[in-house]
Structure 1
């Protein structure tokens, strides 16, 4: 069995080897310099094309940004005028109802997103406001005349703070709430929006903070969690 010896560089020995090594290094440096100069000449000759390409890229980037800004502005203008009748709300699917509540929050000055899905821990829409804090909406789209019971209030109370770090929790339905649900919600700081309040919010354009009496600067230690 033969073993292969690892090849390794040996330091030059003697004047002849030092001179030879210097010549090799100089040749390598000259070769690299020539390559750099050749690339420089190519780029120098192509600079008009590079300038045009860079200009085109800049124009495209500006156009895309302006289009996005215009789209956001148009959407903001549409949402500012957003009105939904109860008949339109009743015709929505459960998921569409969640997106409608998100848009109503945005109309009222919140940054909001729809998050409802399986395992959402009693939160379908989460919003944030610079003065009012963080809000969690639980959406209950039901048939006309349907009632939401206290169990929903218990669920929201149990997750609004620990799971979602909410300052404000609201249950919204196009139906009604049982008397016990409303009483328990009022006692435990779980706001509720029933069919009558939803009409004022969605159809008549009353802002949610006015509807529920949410004061600016009233962020508090909600649901037993420490203030941020």
Structure 2
């Protein structure tokens, strides 16, 4: 019986070796044939590239669908304040801002993220990671207005929140040229990668 087992094992090993040799010969033959037929090689390369691009597009769609389903603003609420600032900085960068950096922390005087538009205009963003029941009020906007331009020399001042803004806050922001991004707009920004001020 052991001799039959050894024979079967040797047969499988020989078959595996033969299969590997055949695969190598086929691959080498295919490479040689493609070298002799460059038009086919280029067509095959283009086909493989298109397949990879289609796979990437499908993966991105699935990711975006999951994010929409879970709610982007809701997902941001799971982040710490510092992580939320980093997420806003990343969104600014992927949307075209340059020189984006986080400056938030103790003594930040209202600026959490600073970056620049393609034309060199300075963006100063303040990030408010608030729950859905806590809107950004007029006092928050007033404090930001008091430092964004006078202290940070912002060309574009933006207040970003996971929540919403009260009517007085929106009115005050509009009067002082502060752009506002609420939770719904934040989710759309993440989905499209586009905001009009960048």
Please say if residues 90 and 144 of structure 1, whose CA atoms lie closer than 8 Å, have aligned partners that are also in contact: no
CA drift of 1:132 comes to 5.3
Q: Encode CA deviations 1:152-178: one digit per residue, 9 max, x unaligned.
A: 111111111221111000111001111
Mark the runs of 5 or more structure 1 residues left unpaired by the alignment: 1-80, 216-228
CA drift of 1:149 comes to 0.6
Q: Encode CA deviations 1:71-99: one digit per residue, 9 max, x unaligned.
A: xxxxxxxxxx7966233212111111000
- 1:189 partnered with 2:177: yes
Aligned match for 2:77, one of 70, 87, 90: 90
What is residue 151 of structure 2 aligned with on the other side?
A: 163
SS in 2 for 1:164: coil
Shift in CA distance, 130/93, structure 1 to aligned 2, threshold 3 Å: same
What is residue 23 of structure 1 aligned with on the other side?
A: none
| Higher Cα radius of gyration | 1
Which structure's residues are more often helix, by fraction?
2
The alignment of Structure 1 onto Structure 2 pairs a total of residues equal to 130
What is residue 23 of structure 2 aligned with on the other side?
A: none
TM-score, normalised by the number of residues in structure 2: 0.61
What is residue 108 of structure 1 aligned with on the other side?
A: 95
Q: Distance in 1 between matches of 2:130 and 2:141?
A: 16
What is residue 140 of structure 1 aligned with on the other side?
A: 128
SS in 2 for 1:170: strand
Deviating runs (4+, > 2 A) in structure 1? 81-87
CA drift of 1:187 comes to 1.3
TM-score, normalised by the number of residues in structure 1: 0.53
